[in-house]
Amino acid sequence: MDTTSAADAATPRPATTLPGSPREHLSSPTTRAVLRLQHTVLDAAREHLGGAGFTELLPPIIGPVTDPGARGAKQVDVDYYGHRYKLMTSAILYKQASLTAFDRIFCIAPNVRLEPLETSSTSRHLAEFHQIDVEIAHASRDDAMAVAEGLVAHVLRRVVERSAGELEVLGRDPDAFADLLSGEPFERRTHTAAVADLHGLGHDQNPDAEIDWAGEAVLSAKSSRPFFLTDYPKGSRGFYDKENPARPGRLLNFDLLAPEGYGELCSGSEREHEYGTIIARMRETGENPAKYGWYLEMVRAGIPGSAGFGIGLERLTRYIAGLESVWQASAYPKVPGVVSP
Ligand code: AMP
Ligand code: MG
C-alpha cells in the first residue's frame, strides 16, 4: 500500500526551505505578521482562560524527571549541582501537582524534545516549542474537550477580529475559519473509527498504535474544521492517560486535529491519579517509578482526579496563519538537527 502518496496529496506543501539568518528570518514581513498574529493568539488564550477562572502558573524548565510520553523523542539532561536533571518535555507532572493548590490552572510552557532527525522534513516538528497547557481538577474528559473547543474557537474569533491585517499579509483567507466559527460542536470520532476510515482510504494504519503522521494528515485534509479523535489504545500514550474502566485497553483521552491537512494541534486526557495504578502503568510503559520520587510522594499523599490538555502553540499558529512549516511560527526556530541560534 502506498501510504506516502496518499499523505502527499493531503498534506499542505512541505517546507522547501529552512530558516535563513536570524536577521533575515526575524525581519521578513511574513515572520513579523506571524509573530504579531501569535501575540493575538496568546492574548486571546489568556483572556479566555482567565475569564473561565483559570490561574496562570509559570512552569518549571528543569526538574529531576519529565514527561516520558513523547513518541520517539530524546530528553535533554542538565547537570544540576551533580544531579542529572531534565529539560521539560511537557509540564504534565507539575500540572497535576499544582491542582493541590488550584482547581483550574494553565501555563504557556516551553518544551524541549530532541525529535528524530527524520522529523526535520515533516513541517510540523520543532526541537523546542511551547504548549498552552491546561489542567482542571475533578473534571472528566468531556469537560476538558469542552474547554479545548471553547479555547480554540475564542482564539480564532479574536484573530479574525484583531489580526485581519496579518492574515492579509500572509495570504490567509479568514473564510477558512467560517465553518469553525459556526458554533457547531467539533466532530468526535473514536480511534477505532479513524483506523477504519484510513483502511477504507488504502492507508495501512496499525490499529494498536498512534495514528501515524501520514494517516493524521489524510484525515485532517478531509475536514474543513477541527475535530476530535478519542479512545487511543493503551500502549500508545504515557502512564498518566487514564484507562477507561468500561473499555479496558482504551484510554480516556483525545487529540484535536486541525483541518486542511495541518494535523494534530492538541493532546489531552482524563488523568490517572491513584498511586497504585500509576505505579502499575509506569511499569507497563517501561518507566522506573524510583525516578519519580517527588511526584509519587505527592500522588501518595493525594492529588485530585483531573483532566487536561496541551495545545502546541506553534502548530496552532501554523494552522491559523496557513504556513508551510511550523518553524515559521517561531522567532528562533529549532528545526530538529539544524544548528541554529
Ligand atoms: P504531545 O504531548 O506529544 O501530544 O504534545 C502536545 C502538543 O504539543 C501536540 O499536540 C502538538 O501540538 C505539540 N507538539 C508536540 N511535539 C511537537 C514538536 N516536536 N514540535 C512542535 N509541536 C509539538
Ligand atoms: Mg500528541
Q: Is residue 64 part of a domain?
A: yes
Contact 109, 59 (CB under 8 A): yes
pLDDT of residue 67 exceeding 60, the answer is: yes
Q: Which residues span the domain enclosing 322? A: 33-329
Quote the CA–CA distance of 179 and 226 in Å, as a whole number: 9
Q: Is residue 22 part of a domain?
A: no
Q: Is residue 341 part of a domain?
A: no
H helix runs in 183-229, sequence order: 191-200, 213-221
Residue 266 beta carbon below 6 angstroms from any ligand 1 atom? yes
Average pLDDT over the chain reads 94
Q: Determine the atom of ligand 1 nearest the C-alpha atom of 316.
A: 12
Q: How many domains does the chain have?
A: 1
Nearest CA to ligand 1 atom 12: 312
Quote the CA–CA distance of 238 and 68 in Å, as a whole number: 7
Q: What are the residues facing 83 on neighbouring strands?
A: 80
Contact 273, 303 (CB under 8 A): yes
Q: Is residue 3 part of a domain?
A: no
- Look up the CATH number of the domain holding residue 256: 3.30.930.10
Residue 126 beta carbon below 6 angstroms from any ligand 1 atom? yes
Q: Is residue 340 part of a domain?
A: no
Question: What's the pLDDT score for residue 5?
Answer: 35
Q: How confident is the model over 30-65, as pLDDT tens digits?
A: 999 999 999 999 999 999 999 999 999 999 999 999
Question: What's the pLDDT score for residue 165?
Answer: 98
pLDDT of residue 272 exceeding 50, the answer is: yes
Backbone angles phi, psi at 309, to 5 degrees: -160, 165
Grid coordinates belonging to 77: 539532561
Centre of ligand 2 to C-alpha 168, Å, is 30
pTM, whole model, 2 decimals?
A: 0.95
Q: Determine the atom of ligand 1 nearest the C-alpha atom of 131.
A: 8
Mean pLDDT within 301-328: 98
Q: Is residue 5 part of a domain?
A: no
Residue 265 beta carbon below 6 angstroms from any ligand 1 atom? yes
Grid coordinates belonging to 178: 467560517
Give the CA distances from residue 185 to residues 148, 221, 261, 281, in Å, rounded to whole numbers and listed in that order.
11, 19, 20, 33
Quote the CA–CA distance of 115 and 54 in Å, as a whole number: 31
The ligand that comes nearest to the alpha carbon of residue 210 is 2
Residue 115 beta carbon below 6 angstroms from any ligand 1 atom? yes
Q: CA 291: distance to chain centroid?
A: 25
User: Locate cell 501515524: which residue?
Assistant: 212
